[in-house]
Amino acid sequence: MSPNDVLLRTVTKAAIVIILTFSIYLFFGGHHNPGGGFIGGLSVAAGLVLLFLAFDIETVRKNIPIDFKKMAGFGVLIAVLTGVSSLFFGEPFLNQTFGHFHLPIFGETELATAVLFDVGVALAVIGTAITIILSISEGK
Amino acid sequence: MNENVYINIIVAIFLLFGTILSFLSAIGLIRLPDVYSRSHAVSKSASLGVLCTLFGAFLFFLLTDGYFSIRLILGIFFVFLTSPVVSHLLNRAAYHSKVELTKETVQDDLKEFLEGE
């Protein structure tokens, strides 16, 4: 008899929207509030683990066709490149800058290059966490 | 009695109600006989206690600082959404791994249904 997971799956569909939205909020709020790349990436990974629990691994892998090992490597690559790119402007390694720009919807916005480093950290954290969990669960 | 005192009283009532409900659910966890009635006590009253505490904190920041904390609203909604499902899954896992019901149980319809298949 296969278990009937209607309740868990329905609530997961509602909860995953909240979790991913909140992790994006944590990611972008990291400059002035508690949050940032690490905790944003970890909460994305927690949402994906909830998906793996509610649905089976094959279904989720088919709908999110991302190689998480490559994702972790890509994150480290981004983080290193943002550090290296400051060398081209005659600044020390990992130096950062910010400026005020006028964006169409957001209006006057402060954009910092530290966000790019945070993108790398977040991708590395998501890739590493999901790789660990998937490789544990697939081992017989 | 100025306005601030009334705000503090309302917030204090919410916080006290929430903590009393959490305490009652802890007593229910100790005193009730089997898994199912324990989870009945804990899931309802503990989640309502957490909801009252979060709502008290939300009211406090809204009325004193004028800060509308969307994170607390989201937390209230999230606890309200997920805590009954957690208790449902725990109870079902307990039943399917054949945890005994208490001796005072009168009727077990699910057992007859599962045996009938």
**Interface pTM, i.e. ipTM:** 0.77
Contacts of B89 in chain A (CB under 8 A): 7-8
Q: How far, in Å, CA of A30 to CA of B2, rounded?
A: 38
> Residues 67..96 of B with a Cβ closer than 8 Å to A: which?
71, 74, 77-78, 81-82, 85, 88-89, 92, 96
Interface A-B, measured as beta-carbon pairs within 8 A, has a size of 20
Report CB contact under 8 Å: A18, B117.
no
SS3 content of chain B, % helix, strand, coil (to 5): 80, 0, 20
% chain A with pLDDT above 70: 97
Task: Answer for the pair B72, B54: CB distance below 8 angstroms, yes or no.
Answer: yes
Q: Name the pTM for this structure.
A: 0.83
Contacts of B85 in chain A (CB under 8 A): 7-8, 11
Nearest CA-CA distance, residue B106 and chain A, Å: 26
Q: How far, in Å, CA of A42 to CA of A128, rounded?
A: 10
Task: Answer for the pair B52, B21: CB distance below 8 angstroms, yes or no.
Answer: yes
Q: What angle (nearest 5°) sits at the alpha carbon of residue B82, between those of residues A13 and B27?
A: 170
User: What is the structure's pLDDT at A90?
Assistant: 81
When mean pLDDT is compared across A90-94, A125-129, B6-10, the lowest value belongs to: A90-94
- Pick the closest to residue B99 from B109, B91, B88, B89 (CA basis): B91
Q: How far, in Å, CA of A28 to CA of A105, rounded?
A: 16
> Is pLDDT of A1 > 70?
no
Nearest CA-CA distance, residue B85 and chain A, Å: 7
Question: For all residues of chain A together, what is the average pLDDT?
Answer: 87
- Residue labelled with tokens 């793996």: A52
Task: Answer for the pair B18, B49: CB distance below 8 angstroms, yes or no.
Answer: yes
Q: Which residue of B has its CA nearest to A21?
A: B74
Q: How far, in Å, CA of B89 to CA of B71, rounded?
A: 26
Q: Which residue of B has its CA nearest to A50?
A: B82
User: What is the structure's pLDDT at B117?
Assistant: 64
**Which residues from A are below 8 Å from B when comparing CB atoms?**
1, 3, 7-8, 11, 14-15, 18, 22
pLDDT tens sequence across B36-76: 999 999 999 999 999 999 999 999 999 888 888 888 999 99
Buried b (16+ CB within 10 A) or exposed e, A24-55: ebbbeebeeeebbbbbbbbbbbebbbbbbebb
Contacts of A2 in chain B (CB under 8 A): none
Nearest CA-CA distance, residue A46 and chain B, Å: 15
The continuous run of DSSP H or E covering A4 comes out as none
Tokens of B16: 């006290």
Task: Answer for the pair A76, A120: CB distance below 8 angstroms, yes or no.
Answer: yes
- Pick the closest to residue A41 from A114, A119, A134, A115 (CA basis): A119
Residue type, A121: V
> Is pLDDT of B7 > 90?
no
Radius of gyration of chain A (CA): 18
Q: Which residues are A49's β-sheet partners?
A: none
The continuous run of DSSP H or E covering A90 comes out as none
Contacts of A22 in chain B (CB under 8 A): 71, 74
Q: Which residue of B has its CA nearest to A14?
A: B81
Contacts of A14 in chain B (CB under 8 A): 81
pLDDT tens sequence across B73-104: 999 999 999 999 999 999 999 988 888 888 88
Q: How far, in Å, CA of A136 to CA of B113, rounded?
A: 37
Q: Is the dihedral angle over the CA atoms B80, B84, B90, B96 positive or is it negative?
A: negative
> Is pLDDT of A139 > 70?
no
